[in-house]
Amino acid sequence: MPRIVFSSGILGVAFRVFALAIFILLAGCHFQTDPPGDAPTGVKVIPGDGRVTVSFDQLPGLTYWIFYQAGSSLDPSAPGVSIFRGAASPQVLSTIISGVFLNGTQYAFIMNATKNDSRAGPFSSTEVATPRLAGPNWDVGVALGPVPQNLNGLAFNNLTRLVAVGDSGTVFAGNYDYTHTNPPGVTEWLPPTNFPTGFVENLRAVTFSNQLVALGENGSILTSPDGSVWTLAPTDNFVPSTGMNDLVFAFPRYVAVGNGGKIFTSPDLVVWTQPVSNTVEDLYSVSLLNGRVVVTGANGTLLTSLDGVNWDPQQSNTGNALRGATFRASINVNDIQYVVVGDAGTIVTSVDGTTWTATTLANAPNLLSVTRGGALGTRFLAVGSGGAVAFSDDGAVWTQTTAGSSDLRRVLVTPGMYIAVGAAGANAVSK
């Protein structure tokens, strides 16, 4: 029988194309990954402030999908359902990265998974959660340091880094981590890797500009790019003296305040000037609020300035020491925008930064620091002696709770949570 030989002509080309097509088809059928046979397990949704945290039993080789929408149930195939692909447990879904999560609104969540871009596997059962404002509940961390020192200042670089400073040259830095529980809110608190030899002054405050800047009680200045490596600044005529208490970067200059009415300003942390403060009272805090520099102090002292140089005494209507101030924007001109806190539960408020009203919280201890937070930035929250916490959504009605029993000396807000530090290494988080 004659042997059949395919030539390189049209017939041969057609055969090769046909054979290649068959091979691709067979290969595709042979190597296509089957979808996961089981739905994701262990799915839990924990509500936060303008966010939720979705945790689940994560298996290797699977890509997890989270479907969610407002309501008590959802159909994943329906229009308008939001989808987050590539979730890793615990997965934080927030307004910033995943769409709007309104506090007080219930959301439904459901999950499935794929394997190597296979078809989707079965869905988990539906979980529901309602985001809510932080403030009522606090997680208290273990005191920082082998010999815990008082922590007096706290700063956040608006990206990932938190820095706390305190007595005897104490400095701790850590990366912001919303889901971390031990320590709460921070991956790990670590001491500096490089620090001025022999520096043991009490650090009273730390602020962030284009770098981290810490203020010593004796007027010394330390700078750092990251919270780990610190340098003693070569000041020019910033006369070292006891009783310096706080520091802020108020564009375009730094402003430092202290006892005896001392105010110093500098554009570069080297050359300092001392403007007339119009007071001899001890000054405890300085803040940049809505274009104003606001200073608080003993015996109800309250000063404001538009430039950090010329200072106007304000009528605070209290004789109690004032320890901290904050501001929130408002669309209603009659809403309280400024809040100042102080000893014996003192709350001083203003709608415009010029006219102030003083009240006192019943049975409240000394309030030492205040900030504003929440998903929309509208909640005032203050901390103080004995772990005191007080918060308000209108500046008039306040709710009191506690975060441990140690004095809390400074509080600030980070994405989704408040963090406070204080006496003997105290640290606490609310989210």
Tell me the C-alpha distance between 130 and 180, whole Å: 21
Summarised one tens digit per residue, pLDDT across range 266-276 is 999 988 899 99
Token couple for 116: 């190597």
Question: What CA–CA distances, in Å, run from 145 to 195, 196, 311, 373, 405?
Answer: 16, 18, 39, 28, 18
Structure confidence at residue 117 (pLDDT): 86
Closest to 235 (Cα-Cα) out of 249, 252, 251, 254: 254
Quickly list DSSP for 357-424: EEEE-TT---EEEEEEESTTS-EEEEEEGGGEEEEESSSSS-EEEESSSS-EEEEEEETTEEEEEEGG
> For the chain, what is the radius of gyration of the CA atoms?
29
* Yes or no: domain 139-430 corresponds to CATH 2.130.10.10: yes
Tell me the C-alpha distance between 151 and 407, whole Å: 10
Summarised one tens digit per residue, pLDDT across range 196-219 is 999 999 999 999 999 999 999 999
Stretch 25-47: mean pLDDT:
78
Tell me the C-alpha distance between 206 and 412, whole Å: 12
Summarised one tens digit per residue, pLDDT across range 128-164 is 999 999 999 999 999 999 999 999 999 999 789 999 9
Tell me the C-alpha distance between 104 and 110, whole Å: 20
Helix (H) or strand (E) holding 346: strand 346-350
Structure confidence at residue 235 (pLDDT): 64
How many beta carbons lie within 10 A of that of residue 171, not counting itself? Answer: 25
Question: What CA–CA distances, in Å, run from 394 to 27, 298, 391, 401, 410?
Answer: 66, 26, 9, 17, 21
More confident residue, 27 or 415: 415
325 in Cβ contact with 288 (< 8 Å): no
Instruction: Please state the domain extents for the chain.
Output: 44-129, 139-430
**β-pairing, 139-140 with 322-327?**
unpaired
Structure confidence at residue 375 (pLDDT): 85
Phi, psi at 407, each rounded to 5°? -60, 130
Phi, psi at 257, each rounded to 5°? -130, 155
Tell me the C-alpha distance between 211 and 293, whole Å: 20
Token couple for 270: 């080297």
The fold of the 44-129 domain, in CATH, is: Immunoglobulin-like (2.60.40)
Please state the pTM of the whole predicted model.
0.90
How many CA atoms lie within 13 Å of 264's alpha carbon, on the beta-carbon side? 26
Residue 63 burial class via C-beta count within 10 angstroms: exposed 0-12, middle 13-18, buried 19 and up: middle
Tell me the C-alpha distance between 154 and 163, whole Å: 6
Structure confidence at residue 239 (pLDDT): 54
How many beta carbons lie within 10 A of that of residue 340, not counting itself? Answer: 29
Mean pLDDT (the chain, rounded) = 91
Stretch 215-235: mean pLDDT:
93
Structure confidence at residue 35 (pLDDT): 95
Q: Please report the beta strands in 75-126, taking only residues with DSSP state E, as ranges in sequence order.
A: 82-87, 91-94, 107-115
Closest to 220 (Cα-Cα) out of 207, 231, 209, 208: 231
Summarised one tens digit per residue, pLDDT across range 328-348 is 998 787 899 999 999 999 999
How many CA atoms lie within 13 Å of 421's alpha carbon, on the beta-carbon side? 32
134 in Cβ contact with 373 (< 8 Å): yes
Asked whether residue 27 carries a pLDDT value surpassing 60, the answer given is no
